[in-house]
Structure 1
Amino acid sequence: MIVYASRTGNVRAIVQKLGLPAMDLTQINDVDSPFLLFTYTDGLGTIPPIVAQFMQLHHGFCKGIIVSGNRNFGHAFFGRAGDLLASRYQLPLVQKLDLRGTTNNYEAITNYYHAIWKEVQQ
Protein backbone atom coordinates (compact mmCIF):
# COMPACT_ATOMS: atom_id res chain seq x y z
CA MET A 1 0.00 0.00 0.00
CA ILE A 2 1.03 3.60 -0.54
CA VAL A 3 0.36 5.88 2.42
CA TYR A 4 0.27 9.49 1.30
CA ALA A 5 -0.04 13.05 2.53
CA SER A 6 -1.39 15.68 0.17
CA ARG A 7 -1.88 19.30 1.15
CA THR A 8 -2.87 20.81 -2.21
CA GLY A 9 -4.17 17.67 -3.94
CA ASN A 10 -1.04 17.27 -6.06
CA VAL A 11 0.17 14.07 -4.37
CA ARG A 12 -3.38 12.69 -4.30
CA ALA A 13 -3.67 13.22 -8.08
CA ILE A 14 -0.39 11.36 -8.67
CA VAL A 15 -1.47 8.48 -6.43
CA GLN A 16 -4.73 8.19 -8.37
CA LYS A 17 -2.77 8.05 -11.66
CA LEU A 18 -0.59 5.25 -10.29
CA GLY A 19 -3.63 3.07 -9.66
CA LEU A 20 -1.96 1.25 -6.77
CA PRO A 21 -3.57 0.55 -3.39
CA ALA A 22 -3.31 3.76 -1.39
CA MET A 23 -4.65 5.53 1.66
CA ASP A 24 -4.45 9.09 2.95
CA LEU A 25 -2.44 8.99 6.17
CA THR A 26 -5.04 11.20 7.87
CA GLN A 27 -7.45 8.26 7.57
CA ILE A 28 -5.14 5.72 9.21
CA ASN A 29 -5.27 4.91 12.90
CA ASP A 30 -2.73 2.11 13.00
CA VAL A 31 -0.36 0.38 10.59
CA ASP A 32 0.45 -3.30 10.71
CA SER A 33 1.69 -3.98 7.18
CA PRO A 34 4.39 -2.66 4.83
CA PHE A 35 3.84 0.60 2.98
CA LEU A 36 5.56 3.20 0.83
CA LEU A 37 5.27 6.76 2.08
CA PHE A 38 4.46 9.49 -0.47
CA THR A 39 4.72 13.01 0.89
CA TYR A 40 5.05 16.60 -0.22
CA THR A 41 7.77 18.97 0.94
CA ASP A 42 6.65 21.77 3.24
CA GLY A 43 7.99 25.31 3.18
CA LEU A 44 11.64 25.47 2.28
CA GLY A 45 12.47 21.79 2.48
CA THR A 46 10.87 20.67 5.71
CA ILE A 47 8.89 17.56 6.57
CA PRO A 48 5.18 18.29 7.02
CA PRO A 49 4.37 17.93 10.75
CA ILE A 50 1.60 15.40 10.10
CA VAL A 51 4.08 13.22 8.17
CA ALA A 52 6.77 13.55 10.84
CA GLN A 53 4.31 12.44 13.52
CA PHE A 54 3.06 9.52 11.41
CA MET A 55 6.58 8.30 10.67
CA GLN A 56 7.66 8.51 14.31
CA LEU A 57 4.96 5.96 15.07
CA HIS A 58 5.04 3.77 11.95
CA HIS A 59 8.47 3.99 10.29
CA GLY A 60 9.15 0.33 11.06
CA PHE A 61 6.69 -0.73 8.35
CA CYS A 62 7.90 1.78 5.75
CA LYS A 63 9.74 0.31 2.73
CA GLY A 64 10.62 3.53 0.94
CA ILE A 65 9.95 7.24 0.46
CA ILE A 66 8.44 9.06 -2.51
CA VAL A 67 8.40 12.85 -2.41
CA SER A 68 6.92 15.63 -4.47
CA GLY A 69 8.55 19.03 -4.62
CA ASN A 70 9.09 22.06 -6.79
CA ARG A 71 12.44 22.75 -8.46
CA ASN A 72 11.64 26.47 -8.44
CA PHE A 73 12.68 26.57 -4.76
CA GLY A 74 16.22 25.54 -5.69
CA HIS A 75 18.20 22.32 -5.70
CA ALA A 76 18.89 22.35 -1.95
CA PHE A 77 15.18 22.45 -1.10
CA PHE A 78 13.73 20.31 -3.90
CA GLY A 79 12.03 17.30 -2.33
CA ARG A 80 14.12 17.74 0.79
CA ALA A 81 11.43 16.20 3.03
CA GLY A 82 12.16 12.92 1.27
CA ASP A 83 15.90 13.29 1.81
CA LEU A 84 15.39 14.01 5.50
CA LEU A 85 12.99 11.09 6.06
CA ALA A 86 15.16 8.64 4.11
CA SER A 87 18.21 9.66 6.13
CA ARG A 88 16.47 9.72 9.51
CA TYR A 89 14.95 6.25 9.12
CA GLN A 90 17.58 4.67 6.82
CA LEU A 91 15.03 4.09 4.04
CA PRO A 92 15.42 4.18 0.26
CA LEU A 93 14.37 7.38 -1.48
CA VAL A 94 12.40 5.82 -4.33
CA GLN A 95 11.59 8.94 -6.38
CA LYS A 96 11.59 12.72 -6.24
CA LEU A 97 8.91 14.25 -8.44
CA ASP A 98 8.90 17.81 -9.67
CA LEU A 99 5.29 18.93 -9.20
CA ARG A 100 3.22 16.15 -10.83
CA GLY A 101 6.22 14.24 -12.13
CA THR A 102 6.66 12.38 -15.39
CA THR A 103 5.71 9.06 -16.90
CA ASN A 104 9.23 7.85 -16.03
CA ASN A 105 8.62 8.70 -12.35
CA TYR A 106 5.33 6.78 -12.40
CA GLU A 107 6.96 3.73 -14.00
CA ALA A 108 9.81 3.75 -11.48
CA ILE A 109 7.38 3.98 -8.55
CA THR A 110 5.19 1.19 -9.93
CA ASN A 111 8.20 -1.06 -10.56
CA TYR A 112 9.59 -0.46 -7.07
CA TYR A 113 6.17 -1.10 -5.53
CA HIS A 114 5.80 -4.46 -7.29
CA ALA A 115 9.38 -5.47 -6.46
CA ILE A 116 8.87 -4.69 -2.77
CA TRP A 117 5.65 -6.64 -2.60
CA LYS A 118 7.21 -9.68 -4.26
CA GLU A 119 9.99 -9.50 -1.64
CA VAL A 120 7.51 -9.12 1.26
CA GLN A 121 5.45 -12.13 0.10
CA GLN A 122 8.48 -14.46 -0.05
Structure 2
Amino acid sequence: MNARDHLFSLYEQWRRLSLAESEGIQRSDWAEVRRCQNAKHTLQERIVAATDALKVEQAALHCDPCEAETAIRTVVSRLMELESQNSQQLSQQRVRAEGEQAGVDKAEQNLRQLSRAYGQPRETGWQNYS
Protein backbone atom coordinates (compact mmCIF):
# COMPACT_ATOMS: atom_id res chain seq x y z
CA MET A 1 0.00 0.00 0.00
CA ASN A 2 1.44 3.36 -0.95
CA ALA A 3 1.49 6.34 1.42
CA ARG A 4 -1.55 7.99 -0.20
CA ASP A 5 -3.70 4.87 0.13
CA HIS A 6 -2.53 4.39 3.70
CA LEU A 7 -3.46 7.97 4.62
CA PHE A 8 -6.90 7.65 3.06
CA SER A 9 -7.49 4.35 4.86
CA LEU A 10 -6.76 6.18 8.13
CA TYR A 11 -9.23 8.90 7.16
CA GLU A 12 -11.80 6.17 6.49
CA GLN A 13 -11.19 4.76 9.97
CA TRP A 14 -11.77 8.25 11.38
CA ARG A 15 -15.04 8.51 9.42
CA ARG A 16 -16.26 5.18 10.78
CA LEU A 17 -15.32 6.18 14.32
CA SER A 18 -17.18 9.47 13.93
CA LEU A 19 -20.29 7.64 12.75
CA ALA A 20 -20.04 5.22 15.68
CA GLU A 21 -19.56 8.18 18.01
CA SER A 22 -22.69 9.79 16.58
CA GLU A 23 -24.69 6.62 17.24
CA GLY A 24 -23.28 6.50 20.77
CA ILE A 25 -24.36 10.08 21.38
CA GLN A 26 -27.86 9.34 20.10
CA ARG A 27 -28.14 6.33 22.45
CA SER A 28 -26.48 8.20 25.35
CA ASP A 29 -23.88 5.42 25.35
CA TRP A 30 -21.11 7.48 26.88
CA ALA A 31 -18.71 4.53 27.13
CA GLU A 32 -18.95 4.11 23.35
CA VAL A 33 -18.48 7.84 22.81
CA ARG A 34 -15.37 7.78 25.01
CA ARG A 35 -14.03 4.71 23.17
CA CYS A 36 -14.46 6.44 19.81
CA GLN A 37 -12.85 9.65 21.05
CA ASN A 38 -9.89 7.76 22.48
CA ALA A 39 -9.47 5.81 19.23
CA LYS A 40 -9.56 9.03 17.21
CA HIS A 41 -6.98 10.58 19.52
CA THR A 42 -4.66 7.64 18.84
CA LEU A 43 -5.45 7.83 15.14
CA GLN A 44 -4.35 11.48 14.99
CA GLU A 45 -0.71 10.50 15.52
CA ARG A 46 -0.93 7.89 12.78
CA ILE A 47 -2.49 10.41 10.38
CA VAL A 48 0.30 12.90 11.01
CA ALA A 49 2.90 10.20 10.37
CA ALA A 50 1.10 9.05 7.21
CA THR A 51 0.88 12.64 5.96
CA ASP A 52 4.62 13.05 6.48
CA ALA A 53 5.25 9.76 4.66
CA LEU A 54 3.09 10.93 1.75
CA LYS A 55 5.13 14.13 1.44
CA VAL A 56 8.37 12.14 1.42
CA GLU A 57 6.99 9.71 -1.16
CA GLN A 58 5.79 12.52 -3.42
CA ALA A 59 9.17 14.26 -3.21
CA ALA A 60 11.00 11.03 -4.07
CA LEU A 61 8.73 10.38 -7.04
CA HIS A 62 8.76 14.05 -8.12
CA CYS A 63 4.96 14.12 -8.02
CA ASP A 64 2.86 17.25 -8.01
CA PRO A 65 1.34 17.41 -4.50
CA CYS A 66 -1.64 19.51 -5.65
CA GLU A 67 -3.82 16.56 -6.64
CA ALA A 68 -3.29 14.78 -3.33
CA GLU A 69 -3.78 17.99 -1.36
CA THR A 70 -7.10 18.64 -3.10
CA ALA A 71 -8.31 15.13 -2.32
CA ILE A 72 -7.13 15.45 1.28
CA ARG A 73 -8.95 18.77 1.70
CA THR A 74 -12.16 17.21 0.40
CA VAL A 75 -11.94 14.27 2.80
CA VAL A 76 -10.93 16.42 5.76
CA SER A 77 -13.80 18.80 5.02
CA ARG A 78 -16.27 15.89 5.20
CA LEU A 79 -14.69 14.68 8.43
CA MET A 80 -14.99 18.17 9.89
CA GLU A 81 -18.70 18.17 9.01
CA LEU A 82 -19.14 14.90 10.91
CA GLU A 83 -17.27 16.33 13.90
CA SER A 84 -19.47 19.43 13.80
CA GLN A 85 -22.62 17.30 13.70
CA ASN A 86 -21.39 15.26 16.67
CA SER A 87 -20.65 18.46 18.56
CA GLN A 88 -24.16 19.73 17.88
CA GLN A 89 -25.65 16.42 19.03
CA LEU A 90 -23.62 16.60 22.23
CA SER A 91 -24.86 20.14 22.84
CA GLN A 92 -28.46 19.03 22.34
CA GLN A 93 -27.97 16.09 24.71
CA ARG A 94 -26.44 18.41 27.29
CA VAL A 95 -29.35 20.88 27.07
CA ARG A 96 -31.79 17.98 27.41
CA ALA A 97 -29.89 16.57 30.41
CA GLU A 98 -29.75 19.99 32.07
CA GLY A 99 -33.52 20.31 31.59
CA GLU A 100 -34.08 16.91 33.15
CA GLN A 101 -31.78 17.79 36.04
CA ALA A 102 -33.67 21.04 36.61
CA GLY A 103 -36.92 19.04 36.76
CA VAL A 104 -35.41 16.61 39.26
CA ASP A 105 -34.10 19.49 41.38
CA LYS A 106 -37.54 21.15 41.37
CA ALA A 107 -39.26 17.88 42.34
CA GLU A 108 -36.77 17.39 45.17
CA GLN A 109 -37.42 20.92 46.41
CA ASN A 110 -41.19 20.34 46.27
CA LEU A 111 -40.85 17.09 48.24
CA ARG A 112 -38.81 18.83 50.93
CA GLN A 113 -41.43 21.56 51.20
CA LEU A 114 -44.21 18.97 51.47
CA SER A 115 -42.28 17.06 54.07
CA ARG A 116 -41.84 20.21 56.15
CA ALA A 117 -45.48 21.23 55.75
CA TYR A 118 -47.14 17.86 56.31
CA GLY A 119 -44.51 15.77 58.01
CA GLN A 120 -44.93 14.58 61.56
CA PRO A 121 -43.99 17.19 64.11
CA ARG A 122 -40.91 16.40 66.08
CA GLU A 123 -41.51 15.44 69.64
CA THR A 124 -39.82 17.44 72.29
CA GLY A 125 -38.47 16.01 75.49
CA TRP A 126 -41.31 17.56 77.53
CA GLN A 127 -43.91 15.30 75.94
CA ASN A 128 -42.15 12.26 77.35
CA TYR A 129 -42.61 13.46 80.94
CA SER A 130 -46.27 14.31 80.98
Q: TM over 0.5, yes or no?
A: no
**TM-score, normalisation: structure 2:** 0.24
TM-score (normalised: structure 1)? 0.25
| Structure with the largest fraction of helix | 2
* Higher RCO (Cα < 8 Å, 6 or more apart): 2
- Computing the radius of gyration over CA atoms, which structure comes out larger, 1 or 2? 2
